[in-house]
A and B are shown apart, each in its own frame.
Chain A
């Protein structure tokens, strides 16, 4: 059939994409999306590794350190690893720690509470009825509070959308800042101080751009060339002037028709 009619012609308009270019662009777009997916997978794997790593914490379990006063190295590791978690990842971490028979709070080295046998529900000392599973997640009520304090700071947004944002900081409950020395405090204050407003502003805008998805790869491909073309408008100038003239005789028009009174009649009437 194709032989007979030569190249069949569609009734639709020609597509805007030039034919020679389309294969190349399609390939580029495919690669672009593939890299995005790969990035996401890498991040997910990284989060899983963090979960597995943190399920064995704390590393330092000696006497001076406890869940209320954890070792600084553990704290910094915990904060660095938990940064990208979604709340659901954090729940996974708690469950994984419980499988390892540890308290759900990452910086607590005590084993989790065992309430023994019994039903699904448990009566606490304060008179509340709670699920036994909930109760057995932690070693104590304070640890539960500490863990949940971290959880509420986590963001529902997918990890790959905020991986590059430096502003995410996780704080711990009752992080004690009174015991640090004067030098420490000034050092911390100094760090917090905005030394260079301009640099801070640039960083803010970069973070904002990242949040909105303008990262390196996207910007190169997702942009569409836009040329604004002014449409020539022929002003209806003559018409307007005509109308202007007609305006003076508006009162003579009947249904848009102006009755012409013959010259002779005019004279006769005079």
Chain B
């Protein structure tokens, strides 16, 4: 896939960007947001046509400003994220909403840039914001993300980390997010408290990929030589 590409620096940059762009789309699609098939599987040529200058170069300012998109949650995702109805709350609202993804080119990330991004995300009623950056955030900026957590969930990914889709690797088993009903059924079936489940960290790469929140349960399906398939469950902490 990569071998037949020209090797000069500019097109390398374009290819890097294209791969990160694809991975982000796959990630958003895997979280069950609504995305068209051809949006996810964009070919390099089409990516060049749409986001680069005619001569194949990529001026930082103009082209990357275009590298942004939003998506709405699909019906199945809404159903998954709706808490079960209770007598006191007969008509629960789903706790997920539209997502906003943006590629940012700033050379440094401080609290100012984060606040700007968070403000944009919140004021446009997005529930989740994903920023893809070149450089890691400053420590203070990372801490300041926690303060807006109940308004919008801001996630940061490095472009370098998105060059390959980690969930496609053969050593990464399939992770499936359980809905609330499924979680309750699981705990009932095995007579567990949720703290008795094995755990997965929120900063785990796959947990970050799926955007897990504390308290959600993933079903991990591995292949097993003896049993064919082996499922285990992990609680996100």
Question: Which residues of A come within 8 Å of B, CB atoms?
Answer: 44-45, 48, 51-52, 55, 91-93, 95-96, 98-100
Contacts of A91 in B (CB 8 A): 139
> Shortest CB–CB separation between residue A49 and chain B, in angstroms?
9
Asked whether B108 lies within 8 Å of A99 as measured between CB atoms, the reply is: yes
Contacts of A92 in B (CB 8 A): 138-140, 143
Q: How many A-B residue pairs have CB under 8 A?
A: 38
Asked whether B138 lies within 8 Å of A99 as measured between CB atoms, the reply is: yes
Out of B140, B143, B147, name the residue touching A55 (CB < 8 Å).
B140
Asked whether A100 lies within 8 Å of B110 as measured between CB atoms, the reply is: yes
> Shortest CB–CB separation between residue A98 and chain B, in angstroms?
8
> Shortest CB–CB separation between residue B134 and chain A, in angstroms?
14
> Shortest CB–CB separation between residue A53 and chain B, in angstroms?
10
Residue B126, interface by CB 8 Å: no
Question: Which residues of B come within 8 Å of A, CB atoms?
Answer: 108-112, 138-141, 143-144, 147
Closest residue of chain A to B115 (Cβ to Cβ) is A52
Contacts of B144 in A (CB 8 A): 48, 52
**A92-B138, A99-B138 are known contacts. Are A48 and B143 too (CB-CB below 8 A)?**
yes
**A99-B108, A99-B109, A99-B110 are known contacts. Are A52 and B147 too (CB-CB below 8 A)?**
no
Closest residue of chain B to A92 (Cβ to Cβ) is B139
Out of B108, B109, B110, B140, name the residue touching A48 (CB < 8 Å).
B140
Task: Compute how far the CA of A51 lies from the CA of B111 in the bound complex, rounded to whole angstroms.
Answer: 10
> Shortest CB–CB separation between residue B113 and chain A, in angstroms?
8
Asked whether A100 lies within 8 Å of B140 as measured between CB atoms, the reply is: no
Task: Compute how far the CA of A23 lies from the CA of B102 in the bound complex, rounded to whole angstroms.
Answer: 50
Contacts of A98 in B (CB 8 A): 108
Task: Compute how far the CA of A48 lies from the CA of B144 in the bound complex, rounded to whole angstroms.
Answer: 7
**A45-B147, A48-B144 are known contacts. Are A100 and B139 too (CB-CB below 8 A)?**
no
Please give me the 6 A-B residue pairs with the lowest Cβ-Cβ distance, nearest first.
Answer: A99-B110, A92-B139, A99-B108, A96-B140, A92-B140, A51-B140
Asked whether B143 lies within 8 Å of A96 as measured between CB atoms, the reply is: no
Asked whether B111 lies within 8 Å of A55 as measured between CB atoms, the reply is: yes
Closest residue of chain A to B113 (Cβ to Cβ) is A99
Closest residue of chain B to A91 (Cβ to Cβ) is B139
Asked whether B111 lies within 8 Å of A95 as measured between CB atoms, the reply is: no
Closest residue of chain A to B147 (Cβ to Cβ) is A45
Interface centre among A45, A95, A96 (most CB of B within 10 A): A96
Closest residue of chain A to B135 (Cβ to Cβ) is A99
Closest residue of chain B to A95 (Cβ to Cβ) is B138
Contacts of A55 in B (CB 8 A): 110-111, 140
A-B contact pairs, 14 of them (CB 8 A): A48-B144, A48-B147, A52-B111, A52-B144, A55-B111, A55-B140, A92-B139, A92-B143, A96-B110, A96-B138, A96-B141, A98-B108, A99-B109, A100-B112
Task: Compute how far the CA of A100 lies from the CA of B147 in the bound complex, rounded to whole angstroms.
Answer: 21
> Shortest CB–CB separation between residue A13 and chain B, in angstroms?
27
Closest residue of chain A to B108 (Cβ to Cβ) is A99
**A48-B140, A51-B140, A55-B140 are known contacts. Are A96 and B111 too (CB-CB below 8 A)?**
yes
Closest residue of chain B to A41 (Cβ to Cβ) is B146
Contacts of A44 in B (CB 8 A): 143
